[in-house]
Structure 1
């Protein structure tokens, strides 16, 4: 979908060719025409081109920067997240003159992007805007990558050199930035013509918001700060795509028949379910025929983690998965042996039906029996109706009654087994992940927002999903230094909900938003699972064998010596906190943290946590002293 939209907007694909390509992917003609019309409107140069009445237009006077921010405000943008310098300073003149806009400064550009993404996700889809100076684009690149993997609707705005001085600054103009960032963006454009600034800003917003979403890169040359004139500002809601992309009915019927005929079907769901707003409809489909659901690669709990039909994260080691005769993937990547978490392959002799809005994802790792390009929510709704139309109510009841006890008994036994195993080490020091996560889950509000960064075996201990706590993360993009920035943006979007940022000590040291959390009084509870290691890297390296694993000598991932005092680090930013080493004192510490947050300030808990994956107390590391290499004391 990303490539098709870009080809059309860049005039590499005609209107007829665009519809033909979508039709070949199984998209219904009506959906293809609706999507085409919305993209064509966003691309229009004039009101008449877009089929709009002149009375809805607003003529404004200003420079190029003013045109951008007028268009942003018209699209409902309220917040700008940004770094500092690098030619973007004059953008703030436009921000200052618009009291409806609030700006949030980050001390690292990656955190500005994370804040914008957190705001977008927690708000339910509002546009995130990150304003990044050119020298900071590479700092921001990691979290732009995370946003692309999460399909988050964002604008990344920067200023380019004045046309008069183009390609004369070898230090930061060695590359075309749109080419460098292209893999992480849905689309990008460098604005050099004053008259087209509103058009391309409008188009950038349109493309960013078009499902499944993603970041768009927008550049303006600095000479447009000086150039002034009139611009036409149009209501952004007139360019909204109405409805999801639907598949051809015959393909939906084929998928429904596969579900009906399967003895042991299962669903594997991913982020497109949440992005499309299809969580409630997914629950209805699963409950209709008592189909168990596995969580695929996603930053969300696309199916409630404590639902009686929830099998948990997909794993090839699941007994139920191995006996499944149909795997229906909805809005998820294909299980693949290349993933750490969504490990493949599927069970042998299992039929596979794959539904995704992104044709590039369909059948990526394994051949399918049926691939369908469609919006996840639309496909779920159509699939549910198809099943109901093909079976009598009595037959549906019979299928559900036969399967339900088998599935739920297996799931209940599996959960009980995992809890029993965790309880064996409940009072162990260092504190176990299940103990810390369970205590947090029990004490947090039912509608809390949990931002979790690259923490293995943490999400299963939280009650998250539709109607429960909101899970954001772990980030499938895997770039670290994400959680605290996302948490600030989430709190801004949902000030009346608890927000908790969970991070390993390794991820926290990559980059964090402590300074911004303190400056903007963002009441967020930060919990560091501190095991003095890049635990996941070492654990997976150990399972693969090799010289380090055999010798129990870690060259790259031990983070002790020095032992970082994260509480002192937080206090240097005006944020209170405490360290926790005793599991018996954990609950009281969490309560104190929640109390401080309720009073309106952030709080940090540095929890001495276990190393998992057989890592144990392997603390060896190379003893290297640069001071010892000296031949004289200088």
Structure 2
């Protein structure tokens, strides 16, 4: 009879909670769990292993997997050194409000059970202190029963709004112990998330009255699309109200082709807004300032009312200021977004209610006409800019983004990553982002090294369903975690990686140019130590060294579309990854 160890119960817990994959770079501090994951007697319940070459990649893979599917991938990180490597990616997930279940090896905490040297330098008191300020909850339990309880508490808390990563330190000795009598799992339902209610009657009536009276209401959205089911109700509500929509774009919250979507227009029309309703908006000052003049307190200078709805304020770090500038808003409501949208839609859509009266419908029709004209004019102008850029000698980002879309538009595609703010901005102007879940957003924390790993995770979530997962990969971000190519090749992940290579850390170059300009110095030297001009990276050869199929580097705009189409055909035929490199200005 096979002896059952506590690490076997850990695998059983993962199975119970529906975790079908775990990502890690192997480490001795969780060797007990590793053995249980590969033990043949556990084959029917053990999650599949996704091995990576770096802990930052492992966390990013789980990050992208959850954003693409809503499902969890467990992450194991080795002792303190592995957690330090993983910390940047955990911070990204924190800022991106993505729940990740991260388990770190540690110990043995009992010093009498440590091997010489290595167990001493890889054991930490309060190991969770490395990440405690940017996880929702963390624990370092000692003993089997305490560890089981910590698992359930962590899983429940990470899925309760506001979502965020959690971290549990798993003692080296505890995981390798035989399972103690009486130690067993709790019911699977014990991790069910606590739900926030929708708008209460007072808040609902107040908001409805404000929307009824507003001359130009603006709906600002940011993270609501984390739940794809909120997109359709939000569209319906905007249509009923004739409200302008500004999408800050951390997810696909609202179709960018919809005639009421006036994001990125910076139009004078929106300066007349007298009511702003912000749904799950993280950077409120940045959102308001994108279309309204603001006071030094961050409030609209024209006196417009600002109502916030969401749960950002239910989770704040004492270390990172990702909570952004404090704004004294008119009203702040913590409520479930989906239920609140449903309640508002019911009130606004009541055929016998005040929103059906002629005084409101006439005002709505006038707004819709003006907003639709603004939307149409802006999208046409962006298209013209991209077309004009195609005549340049070197490939401009807008031209590349447009040609890539033309190559994939007939596919069922998902943008797993858009690389940088520059690439992302043109994607939102030129690609039709309409299907819920088809755009997954950026890294959240501004930390490089996210893109390739997260795209691997997203593609793993869609492996086998025919979806074309696309990583528009910035070259600087790529160079932080190039060994993610090993994982994408080893597991034959059908991912299209398009390296947008300008041979620059563009943001740093722009800052260097800006400071040189302020100081009346030579801006032509801004590329020094911000560029790869003198020692360029050959991404095609790099990918080939990992076993990833590549195509010749693209250096002419006319070659973008046929090259991307050839890459797509290869993925569809072989189900394996392809890398395309585009040399850009």
TM-score of the alignment, normalized to the shorter chain, above 0.5? yes
Give distance in 2, aligned partners of 1:81 and 1:363. Answer: 32
Cα pair distance change 1:138/1:275, threshold 3 Å: farther
Q: Residue 589 in 1 paired to residue 534 in 2?
A: no
Of 188, 198, 207, 1:246 maps to 198
1:139 counterpart = 2:85: yes
> Deviations along 1:95-144, whole A, 9 cap, x unmatched?
11322421011001111001111111111x21221111021111111111
> What does residue 513 of structure 2 align with?
542
Whether 1:109 and 2:59 are equivalent positions in the alignment is no
Question: Per the alignment, in what secondary structure is the counterpart of residue 418 of structure 2?
Answer: strand
The CA distance in 2 between the partners of 1:340 and 1:534, in whole Å, is: 27
Structure 1 residues 571 and 340: alpha-carbon distance in aligned structure 2, compared to 1, 3 A threshold: farther
| Distance 1:176-1:416 versus aligned 2 partners, 3 A rule | same
Q: Could you list the per-position Cα deviations for residues 205-235 of structure 1 after superposition, in whole angstroms to 9, with x for gaps in the alignment?
A: 1112112321110111111112422432234
CA contact (8 A) 1:302 1:466 kept: no
Is the 1:268–1:294 contact (alpha carbons within 8 Å) kept by the matching residues of 2? yes
Structure 1 CA distance for aligned equivalents of residues 345 and 287 of structure 2: 32
Aligned CA distance change for structure 1 residues 161 and 505 (closer, same or farther; 3 Å): same
CA displacement at 1:268 relative to structure 2: 0.9
Does residue 444 of structure 2 align to residue 476 of structure 1? Answer: yes
C-alpha distance after superposition, 1:482-522 (max 9, x if no partner):
11111111111112211011111111111131010010101
Displacement of 1:394 = 4.1
Structure 1, residues 22-79: CA drift from partner, whole Å, max 9, x if none?
Answer: xxxxxxxxxxxxxxxxxxxxxxxxxxxxxxxxxxxxxx98322222221111011110
**In the alignment, structure 1 residue 162 sits paired with structure 2 residue 120:** no
Q: Does the alignment pair 1:570 with 2:543?
A: yes
State how 1:366-515 maps to structure 2 within 5 Å: 366-388=327-349, 390-395=353-358, 397-444=361-408, 445-450=410-415, 451-456=417-422, 457-463=425-431, 465-467=433-435, 470-495=438-463, 496=465, 497-512=467-482, 513-515=484-486
Q: What is residue 143 of structure 2 aligned with on the other side?
A: 193
Q: Matches of 1:370 and 1:566 in 2, distance apart?
A: 51
CA 252–146 in structure 1, closer or farther in 2 if over 3 Å, else same: same
Is 1:533 paired with 2:504? yes
Separation (CA, whole Å) in 1 of partners of 2:159 and 2:244: 32
State the partner residue of 2:524. Answer: 552
| 1:226 and 2:192 matched | no
Moved more, 167-176 or 246-255: 167-176
Counterpart of 2:256 in structure 1 is 305
SS in 2 for 1:510: coil
Structure 2 residue corresponding to 1:325, chosen from 274, 287, 290: 274
TM-fit CA distance, 1:378: 1.9
SS at structure 1 position matched to 2:75? strand
Residues 244 and 377 of structure 1 are in contact (CA less than 8 Å); yes or no, is this contact kept in structure 2?
A: no
CA distance in 2, matches of 1:584, 1:523: 25
Please say which of residues 141-150 and 333-342 is displaced more in the overlay.
333-342
Distance 1:573 1:277, change over 3 A: same
Paired position in structure 1 for 2:576:
601
The RMSD of aligned alpha carbons is: 2.7
Q: Find the partner of 1:78 among 16, 20, 26.
A: 20
Contact 1:113 1:144 survives alignment (8 Å): yes
What's 2:306 paired with? Answer: 352
Secondary structure of the structure 2 residue equivalent to 1:367: coil
Q: For residue 337 of structure 1, report the CA deviation from its aligned partner.
A: 5.5
Judged with a 3 Å threshold, the aligned counterparts in structure 2 of structure 1 residues 458 and 280 are, in CA distance, closer, same or farther, namely same
CA contact (8 A) 2:402 2:430 kept: yes
Change (3 A) 1:220 1:327: same
Report how far residue 382 of structure 1 moved: 2.0
Please report the TM-score for the alignment, with normalisation by the length of structure 2: 0.87
Which one is further off, 286-295 or 445-454? 445-454
**Which residue of structure 1 aligns with residue 158 of structure 2?**
208
Which stretches in structure 2 are left out of the alignment for 5+ residues?
317-322
Conserved? CA contact 1:302–1:465, under 8 Å? no
Aligned counterpart, 1:56: none
- CA apart distance, 1:536: 2.3
Deviation at 1:359, TM superposition (A): 2.0
- SS of equivalent to 1:310: coil
Change (3 A) 1:226 1:548: farther
Structure 1 residue 279: Cα displacement: 1.3
Aligned residue in 1 for 2:10:
68
TM-score (norm 1): 0.81
**Cα distance per residue 1:550-595 (max 9 Å; x no partner):** 5332244212210110000000011122210011111110111111
Secondary structure at the aligned position of 1:382 is classed as: helix
Distance in 2 (CA, whole Å) between partners of 1:110 and 1:70 is 26
Determine if the alignment matches structure 1 residue 121 to structure 2 residue 67.
Answer: yes
Contact 1:273 1:377 in 2 (8 A): no
Deviation at 1:371, TM superposition (A): 1.0
Offset of residue 466 of structure 1: 4.8
**Larger displacement relative to structure 2 (158-167 or 256-265):** 158-167
Identify the residue that residue 17 of structure 1 maps to in structure 2. Answer: none
Secondary structure at the counterpart of residue 353 of structure 1: strand
Aligned equivalents of 1:606 and 1:501: distance in 2? 12
**Greater CA drift, 476-485 or 455-464:** 455-464
Q: Structure 1 unaligned runs (5+)?
A: 1-59, 611-634
How far apart are the structure 2 equivalents of 1:537 and 1:292?
34
| Distance in 1 between residues matched to 2:74 and 2:506, nearest whole Å | 33
Most deviating of 414-423 and 156-165: 414-423
Contact 2:106–2:127, Cα closer than 8 Å, also in 1? no
Indicate the larger mover: 544-553 or 478-487.
Answer: 544-553
C-alpha separation in 2, matches of 1:373 and 1:277? 19
How far apart in 2 are the matches of 1:549 and 1:539? 14
Deviation at 1:465, TM superposition (A): 4.3
In 2, the alpha carbon distance for the partners of 1:387 and 1:412 equals: 26
State the secondary structure of the residue aligned to 1:277. Answer: helix
Q: Residue 341 of structure 1: CA displacement?
A: 8.7
